[in-house]
Amino acid sequence: MIKDYIIKNKKNGVNPQILWTNLWKKKKLKNDIKFIVNQTKNSEEYGIVKNFIKILPKKSRIIDGGCGHGEWVILLNELGFITDGLDFSNVIITGLKKHYPKYSWKKDDITNLSYKDSSIDTYFSWGVFEHFEDGFSRPLKEAYRVLRKKGYLIISVPYDNFRMRLQKRKIKNNPNDNFHFYQWRLREHELFNELSINNFEVLKINYIHKIQGTKRLLTSLKLDFLPTFFFDRLVIIISKLLPSKLFAHMLIAVAQKK
């Protein structure tokens, strides 16, 4: 597991709520529910987990920890599941409630959830568990607590890919007071181990977002000087030639509570 760091903001230092709220504000919420559903169904994540979703009983109780812009909460509710979107930012939850009042949004902390023991059938969380510097134990233990026996945990985390490993060799990661921990990057076996030691049976781990990984590779090679259209085409072409195991940007795991 490798740590990533970010530069502290001069005004606010690093306040996680401010950081994620500001990122959330940069993306405009969509109004077309049908478009959101179809777009989410076309994602790599859905392609991997759709077979697990299909076997869930209707009215299954689902939570999305760190729900972001709410796409998965909307999709899962439209598929007939009782799904709550969770986030620790008041601004994000207030915004989602205002924009999508039909759905359930709750301010909550994934390391100390407000749900009862064994009350959730499936727990989704995309790119969230890696943001705790003390590791994955707290969010994973809390996920285990709230999930029913044989309940599914479906998460994605940043992948410590080949490009990142090369960069770490060239650049010593010695943060000073100007930097703050941002996230963990993991390899496949490390994600497997984190889930296993917290009493989850790992059913599947896949590499995803190779196009994003390729884009970052080409950017690191200073090829992003090209016009956007040509650069984006180059990314797509080269990504088809590269192995996911080396150049994917994220890992996705499906695990089951033992």
217 domain-assigned? no
Question: What's 66's DSSP letter?
Answer: S
* pTM, two decimal places: 0.90
Please give the distance of CA 221 from its chain centroid, rounded to a whole number: 26
| Residue 174: pLDDT over 60 | no
Dump pLDDT digits (tens) for 58-99. Answer: 899 999 999 999 999 999 999 999 999 999 999 899 999 999
Domain of 44? 2-210+246-257
Domain count of the fold of the chain:
1
21 domain-assigned? yes
The C-alpha atoms of residue 173 and residue 99 are separated, in whole angstroms, by 41
CATH number at residue 186: 3.40.50.150
13 domain-assigned? yes
235 domain-assigned? no
Question: What's 127's DSSP letter?
Answer: S
The C-alpha atoms of residue 112 and residue 156 are separated, in whole angstroms, by 20
Dump pLDDT digits (tens) for 41-67. Answer: 999 999 999 999 999 998 999 999 999
